[in-house]
């Protein structure tokens, strides 16, 4: 055939026919987004469409492993952008699986840290079982940064209803293990926030257990920041208020949260009193000032939790507000709260309220 007189449109058609699937794969690998018919799929993707998606994902995941920061950024952004370009659940279900299948092996603990970190960041867009498998692959990653991003991804998925009940249970089981083992305060905060977003009755119990267990940790580590448990307590408190407003009976859980809040409150009162005795002139360096501010903030959220439960659930009058920066006032307030929590309807014992050894 002589092409010199062949119309341009026919030449184009001949080229597409000659390249076939291989040409589409090449196009998928090099373009910024997938074809609109795939992004807007109204039924399960055909084998050819799946192959196109696979090629696109392969190309972007390869970029995540590049030594070139520009290539890495491009791979991350292209993988994420497809979610915003599509409203098709058929596409997203397959796309999730395609990404998870390729990034899970990259979370091997002996793999390059930057690759694992980029994979963890990408996981924020995943849903359902695809995210569960990533979480299971990376839950014990040696890098706190990787664990942080995966826990954050779980929290976002739970918050935006991207996990069904079984997937939430699978996630909760992993998060509960992480809660006991986690030694990074930043990761711990994300774990607690994620657990508080999970819509299962068991999640509330496990967050309460986690908050309760950390009291002794803070007693033994007086310089450790309270910010992670502060965030977890505040999130759980908000959740219990929402359930209460929806006429759910969560009195038992609210009483338990008040008990745990008291344990932190009295611990902080003792710690601040000890600091004041050791440093009567209050000549702290910047780090000491930040530590004191962190403790005061935690005492504040504990006071608000106890006050709310006392007024709205137990129907008793709480102590008068005090200056949380005054250790003596904090101690007096803690004594008054102890008397309230030992009386009906709470009826907690001294052992229930003790900070512990």
Long-range contacts of 272-276 (CB under 8 A, 24+ apart): 272/296, 272/299, 272/327, 272/330, 273/327, 273/328, 273/330, 273/331, 275/327, 276/327
In tens, the pLDDT along 43-99 reads: 999 999 999 999 999 999 999 999 999 999 999 999 999 999 999 999 999 999 999
Tens digit of each residue's pLDDT, the chain (357 residues): 444 444 433 333 333 333 444 444 454 555 678 999 999 999 999 999 999 999 999 999 999 999 999 999 999 999 999 999 999 999 999 999 999 999 999 999 999 999 999 999 999 999 999 999 999 999 999 999 999 999 999 999 999 999 999 999 999 999 988 887 888 888 998 998 899 889 888 899 999 998 998 999 999 999 889 988 998 899 899 999 999 999 889 999 999 999 999 999 999 999 999 888 877 666 667 888 888 999 999 999 999 999 999 999 999 999 998 998 899 999 999 999 999 999 999 999 999 999 987
Count the alpha carbons within 13 Å of 47 in the hemisphere toward its beta carbon: 1
Residues 151/178, Cβ–Cβ less than 8 Å: yes
Helix (H, G, I), strand (E, B) or coil at 32: coil
For residue 55, cis peptide bond before it (omega within 30 degrees of 0): no
Cα→Cα distances 12→144, 168, 320, Å: 52, 50, 82
């Amino acid at each position: 055939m002589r092409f010199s007189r062949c119309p341009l449109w026919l030449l184009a058609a001949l080229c597409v026919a000659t390249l076939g699937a291989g040409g589409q794969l090449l196009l998928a690998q090099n373009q910024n987004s997938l074809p609109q018919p795939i992004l807007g799929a109204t039924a399960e993707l055909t084998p050819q469409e799946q192959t196109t998606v696979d090629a696109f994902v392969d190309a972007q995941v390869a970029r995540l492993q590049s030594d070139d920061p520009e290539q890495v950024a491009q791979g991350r952004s292209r993988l994420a952008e497809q979610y915003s370009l599509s409203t098709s659940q058929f596409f997203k279900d397959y796309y999730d699986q395609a990404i998870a299948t390729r990034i899970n092996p990259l979370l091997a603990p002996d793999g390059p840290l930057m690759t694992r970190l980029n994979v963890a960041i990408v996981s924020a867009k995943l849903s359902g079982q695809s995210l569960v498998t990533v979480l299971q692959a990376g839950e014990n990653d040696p890098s706190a940064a990787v664990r942080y991003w995966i826990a954050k991804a779980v929290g976002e998925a739970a918050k935006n209803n991207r996990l069904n009940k079984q997937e939430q249970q699978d996630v909760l089981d992993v998060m509960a293990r992480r809660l006991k083992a986690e030694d990074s305060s930043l990761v711990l905060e994300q774990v607690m926030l994620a657990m508080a977003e999970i819509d299962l009755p068991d999640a509330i119990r496990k967050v309460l257990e986690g908050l309760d267990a950390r009291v002794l940790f803070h007693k033994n580590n007086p310089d450790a920041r309270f910010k992670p448990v502060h965030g977890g307590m505040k999130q759980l408190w908000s959740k219990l208020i929402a359930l209460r407003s929806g006429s759910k009976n969560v009195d038992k859980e609210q009483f338990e949260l008040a008990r745990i809040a008291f344990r932190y409150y009295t611990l902080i009162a003792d710690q601040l009193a000890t600091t004041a005795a050791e440093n009567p002139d209050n000549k702290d360096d910047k780090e000491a000032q930040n530590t004191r501010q962190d403790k005061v903030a935690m005492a504040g959220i504990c006071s608000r939790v106890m006050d709310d439960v006392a007024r709205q659930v137990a129907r008793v009058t709480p102590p008068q507000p005090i200056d949380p920066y005054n250790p003596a006032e904090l101690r007096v307030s803690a004594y008054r709260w102890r008397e309230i929590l030992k009386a009906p309807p709470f009826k907690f014992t001294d052992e229930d309220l003790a900070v512990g050894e």
